[in-house]
Structure 1
Amino acid sequence: MKCKPEYAANIIVGINYKNRFSWYVTDKDYWILDLIKRRDDFLRNGHEYDLDHMLMSRMHIEVINEHTVESYLTALSEHKVKSIELKKLVEKKDYEDTILSLYPSLFIDFDNRRLLSSFPETLPFERYVPSGWVGEYKPFDEYISEQDKYWIADGIDLINEAYQI
């Protein structure tokens, strides 16, 4: 794993593309799908936004959607993580600050043009989806197969259990 999840910084993102599911651990800014919408929000609120800097880390892709996702995911291939690797982190309680850093933040379904966010901080990923997409802040467990729910073992949510202690 190139980088470990870190609460609200390096996040865990579930991706569905061409009916294949994968987990990625990356900097949170990689998943602002429409940088133009984000820039426009900043400018409207009287803030500067360094679009060129953001584009450098994103292979110069302004909008990540069903048309640009293939090249984007190829570029991020070193950040792809198997469910079993994430499960080991959860089971060993191997995290920097809080067990919540191991909980997935986003589910992005490129096949159905939908982004679901459970990101716990103030960055509203769901606002920055491409035109024609649905973006919502809501739990997305139901969209993840049982085998890919790395935080569940024998029907127990290991992250929630550890957090409650």
Structure 2
Amino acid sequence: MLLEPKSLENIIVGLLIDNCFKWYVSPKDLWFLDRKKLADTYIKKFKEIGLKNIGDNIEEVDERKGIEVLDEYSFIEFLRRINKYSTSTDELRELLKLNLLTKSKEDTFYNFLPSLYVNVDKKELYSLYPEPASYEDFVPKNWSGIYEDFLSKIDWEEKYWYDENGLDLLNFENNGGKI
């Protein structure tokens, strides 16, 4: 695993594309699917308070360079670029167990709660990311962006927060995503 999950910095994202599921731990800014919509929102807000040329200061993350909108077409190229951030369910589970031994349960909970679930096949993005970053507001045209608990949508074998005995290590699903 290249990056470790760190709340509000490196997020855990589940991605389903062509019926194939994969976990990613990556910088959070990669996952605003429609960056043009995001930039337009910031430009509008800054103009309202009298600032100009804010659009010139929005940087592109390398993996997104040249891909303003992540949709069912551009995800193929994007996946090649972010492969270094992919991780396995087992790797996440083992790191979660280690963190439970070495860090507070509260920190571990927030670091290991998946932030996003992107189902490219159904053109849906689900977010559990704490506000104010509203990923669900910045999805491509004809996609659904939803802020809700998506943990039940993840197949059992991909749920790294369950140990080999079926114990929910952080009680995610019994808490509705709340500690």
- Does TM-score exceed 0.5, indicating one fold? yes
* Residue identity opposite 1:157 in structure 2: D
How far, CA to CA, are the matches of 2:114 and 2:28 in structure 1? Answer: 11
Q: Which runs of 5+ in 1 are unaligned?
A: none
More deviation in 123-132 or 52-61? 52-61
Q: 2:94 aligns with which of 80, 88, 94?
A: 88
Partners of 2:142 and 2:131 lie apart in 1 by 25
RMSD: 2.1
**Alpha carbons 2:63, 2:81 under 8 Å: kept:** no
> Within 5 Å, which residues of 2 pair with 1:17-36?
17-36=17-36
Gaps of 5+ in 2: 173-177
Partner residue in 2 for 1:123:
133
Contact 2:63 2:78 in 1 (8 A): no
TM-score, scaled to structure 2: 0.84
Q: Is the 8 A contact 1:90 1:159 kept in 2?
A: no
Match of 1:58 in 2: 64
The answer on whether the counterparts of 1:17 and 1:110 sit within 8 Å (CA) in structure 2 is yes
- How far apart, CA to CA, are the structure 1 residues paired with 2:25 and 2:157? 18
Matched with 2:115 is 105
Instruction: Return the offset for 1:15.
Output: 0.1
Separation of aligned partners in 2, 1:135 and 1:155: 30
**What is the TM-score with the length of structure 1 in the denominator?**
0.90
Percent of aligned pairs sharing the same letter: 32
| Deviation by residue 1:29-57 (Cα, 9 ceiling, x = unmatched) | 00000001001110111162447622544
One of 77, 81, 84 as aligned partner of 1:71: 77
Partner of 1:2: 2
Max Rg structure: 2
Corresponding residue for 1:137? 147
1:42 is matched with 42
Amino acid at match of 1:74: R
